[in-house]
Amino acid sequence: MMENQAKKLKRTITLVRILIKYGFEELLIRSNIRSLLSPSATEADSFESDGEKLSFNVYERIRMALEELGPTYVKFGQAFSTREDLLPKDMIVELQKLQDKVEPEALDVRGFIEADLGVEPDQLFKHIESEPFASASISQVYKATLKNGSAVILKIKRGGIREVVASDMLIMKDVAKLLVSYSEVFRKVNLVEVLEAFEKSIFHELSFLNELSNIEQFSRNFNDNKDIYLIKTYPELSNDNILCMEYVDGVKITDKPVLIEMGLEPAEIAARGLDLYLTQVLDHGFFHADPHPGNLLVLASGQIAFIDFGTMGSMMPKDKEQLEDFISYFIAQDARRLIAVIKKMAIRFSIPDETKLEKDIHDFFNLLEGSSLHQMDVKEVLSKFSGILNENEILMPEHLYLLVRGIVLIEGIGRALVPDLNIIESLKPYILKIALARLSPEYLQKKGIKFLRTMADALKTVPDDLVSIVSKLNSGELKVVQEVRELPALQERIVQGFNRTVFAIVLCGVWISSALLVLADKPPKWSGIPALAWIGFAISAVLMLILLISYIFGKKPGKKI
C-alpha cells in the first residue's frame, strides 16, 4: 500500500509539472488537483510554465501534454478522439493526432525470452532480430524465425508498464472525482463511469494471455470463412509478457494504389472488410474494437487479416438482440420503439421530458431524410445521435461505445477505397436477415417457451406473496390507506386486463404447439407442413384477431374467469 502511494505521489508531481509547463495552472487551481500532493512535495518542486509551449493554441497544448504524460494518457485521449458529441471539433482534430509510438528501449531479447519462458532461445528460434520493427507504449515487436522456417513476431511487454498504468489510473480517478464535484459538465458526460470502462480496457490490453485468448476465439468464430486470413498463434511460446504469433506479410487496407497493382478491386475489398466487421458484430457478438487501417492487412489472395487483438468488444446474447432491435427501429425510423429499446440497453438514464426526446429523434430522422445517402457521414450521424443521448444523461454500456468507434473507423476505411460508400445501405441485408430469423419456427418456439417459463415462475410466487401480504395486514405491519374513485370502473379494467393476460397465454400455447407440430413432421401434410399445424396456426390467427378486437373496442375476449 505504501509503495503504491509513493508511486502515485511521484506520478502526481509529474502530472502537475507537465500541466503547468503547458499553461494549465488555472485548471489546477480550479479543480484543486494540487490538493492531491502533500505540502512538502509542492515546496520541494518548483513548477514553471514553458513560454515556447504557450505559443500553441489550447487544443495543441492538450495533445502535447497528453503525449508527454505517457501511454495511459495517450490512450485515454485516443479513446475520446471519436467523441465529437462531447468535445469541440478542433480538439477532436488534435486528439486524432495522438500517436501510440515511443522510442524503443534497449532490451536483450534472447535473455528476456530465456528468463521469462525458461527455455534456451536457440532451441526454438533460427533467428531473432535484436532491434524492434515496431515500438508502442505498452510493447515492442520483434521479427523472428522458428527452427522450422516459419516467420513469426514476438510482442514483448515493456518493463514496469503495468505499475506505471496502475499509478496513472489512481491519479486519473482522483482527478475525475474532483472534476465531477466542481463541474456539472463532467458529471453529465459520465466521466467517472467512462474512466472505469477505460481502466478495464487498458488492463485487458496489458495482458497478453487475454490477447491470445481473443485471437483464438476470433479464429473459432471465422473458422469456415474464406474471405478472412486467420493468424496462427504459438501458445507454447507465449505468456502474460510475451506473445508469439505468425508474421503476416500484407498491405495496409487503405493503400489503394498497391491494391490495384496487386490486381485487386478496391470496391470488393471495401465490401469484404465491411461484411467481415458486421459479421463480427451482428452474428458473433465479439468484435475488433480498434479496426484502424494499420490493423487490417490485405494479402495477395484478397483475404483480409485483422491484427492486434488487445481490446475486443463483447456482447451477451441479450445485448446482441437489443442491438438488433436498435438497428431495426433506427432504419425503420420508429422513434417510440427506439426509445424503449434505448432504455433497456442503458446502464442509467435521466430523461426529463420523454415527449421532447421523441421529437428530437423525429427531427433527427427528418434531417437524415433530407440528406443524400452517398453524402452521409456516419461519424457525423452517430455524433448527432450521441448528443441527443447525452442531453438526457443516457449512459450506454461500454461495448456500444467500442462499437461506435469501430463503425466510424470501418466507414473511414470504406470511403478511402470507395468515396461514395454508404454503410447504411450495407446494413439493410443484415436487417432482412434478422427479420427472417425472428419469423422462424425455432425462434418463435424459443421465445414462446421463455415467455411461458417467465409467466410460470411469476405465478408460482403469487400465492406466497398474497399470504405474506395478508399476514402483514392482519398483524398490523402493513396498512393501506387509499381513496379510489370510480371503483367499479377500476375493477372492470383489472378483470379485463387479467382476462386478456390469460387469453394471451392460451394464444401463445396454441402457437407454440403448432410450431412443435411443424418440427414433428407428421402426415397428412399440405405444402410440406402437417395439417394439424395448419389448424393450430388458423386457431391462433382467430384468437389473435379476437384479442386485437378486444383491445380496439374494449370488449373482453371471452367470459370472466
Which pLDDT tens digit goes with each residue over 453-472?
666 666 666 666 666 777 76
Q: State the pLDDT at residue 446.
A: 67
Q: Record the cell numbers describing residue 294, joined without a space.
A: 494499420
- Better-predicted residue by pLDDT, 311 or 299: 299
User: Could you tell me if residue 350 is inside a domain?
Assistant: yes
Alpha carbons within 13 angstroms on the beta-carbon side of residue 17 total 14
Q: pLDDT band at 221, cuts 50/70/90?
A: very high
Closest by alpha carbon to 103, among 136, 129, 126? 136
CA angle at residue 521 from 518 to 525, to 5 degrees? 90
Taking CA atoms, 238 is separated from 164, 210, 242, 321, 379, in Å, by: 23, 11, 5, 36, 38
Same domain, 410 and 450: no
Same domain, 76 and 175: yes
Same domain, 485 and 417: no
Same domain, 372 and 303: yes
Same domain, 368 and 509: no
Percent of the chain with pLDDT over 70: 70
C-beta contacts of 413-416 below 8 A and 24+ residues apart: 413/253, 413/254, 413/270, 413/273, 413/291, 413/293, 413/296, 414/270, 414/273, 414/274, 416/254, 416/256, 416/293
Alpha carbons within 13 angstroms on the beta-carbon side of residue 406 total 27
Q: State the pLDDT at residue 384.
A: 81
pLDDT above 60 for 37: no
User: Could you tell me if residue 151 is inside a domain?
Assistant: no
Helix (H), strand (E) at residue 444: helix 441-475
> Is the omega angle on the peptide bond into residue 557 within 30 degrees of 0, that is, cis?
no
Q: Record the cell numbers describing residue 115, joined without a space.
A: 528468463
Q: pLDDT band at 1, cuts 50/70/90?
A: low
Quote the number of domains for the chain. 3
Same domain, 434 and 495: no
Same domain, 341 and 449: no
Same domain, 445 and 523: yes
User: Could you tell me if residue 236 is inside a domain?
Assistant: no
**244 DSSP β-pair partners:** 154
From 411, 438, 465, the end of a domain falls on 438
User: Could you tell me if residue 235 is inside a domain?
Assistant: no
User: Could you tell me if residue 137 is inside a domain?
Assistant: no
Task: Confirm whether 457 is a catalytic residue.
Answer: no
Annotated catalytic residue, options 255, 290, 308, 360: 290
pLDDT above 70 for 49: no
**252 DSSP β-pair partners:** 297
Q: pLDDT band at 254, cuts 50/70/90?
A: very high
User: Could you tell me if residue 351 is inside a domain?
Assistant: yes
Instruction: Give the C-alpha separation, 170 to 11, whole Å.
Output: 10
pLDDT in tens, 496-509: 666 667 666 766 76
Pairing of strands 529-530, 296-298: unpaired
- Better-predicted residue by pLDDT, 383 or 319: 319
Instruction: Give the C-alpha separation, 320 to 328, whole Å.
Output: 12
Same domain, 467 and 501: yes
Percent of the chain with pLDDT over 90: 27
Same domain, 86 and 184: yes
Same domain, 80 and 38: yes
Instruction: Give the C-alpha separation, 236 to 259, whole Å.
Output: 35
Q: State the pLDDT at residue 41.
A: 45
Same domain, 339 and 420: yes
Taking CA atoms, 291 is separated from 296, 310, 423, 425, in Å, by: 7, 11, 15, 20
User: Could you tell me if residue 527 is inside a domain?
Assistant: yes
Q: Are 149 and 158 in contact (CB under 8 A)?
A: no
From 390, 410, 438, the end of a domain falls on 438
From 203, 236, 266, the end of a domain falls on 203
Range of the domain at 411: 253-438
Number of Cβ atoms within 10 Å of the Cβ of 400: 20
Query: In angstroms, how far is CA 255 from the centroid of its own chain?
Result: 28
User: Could you tell me if residue 146 is inside a domain?
Assistant: no
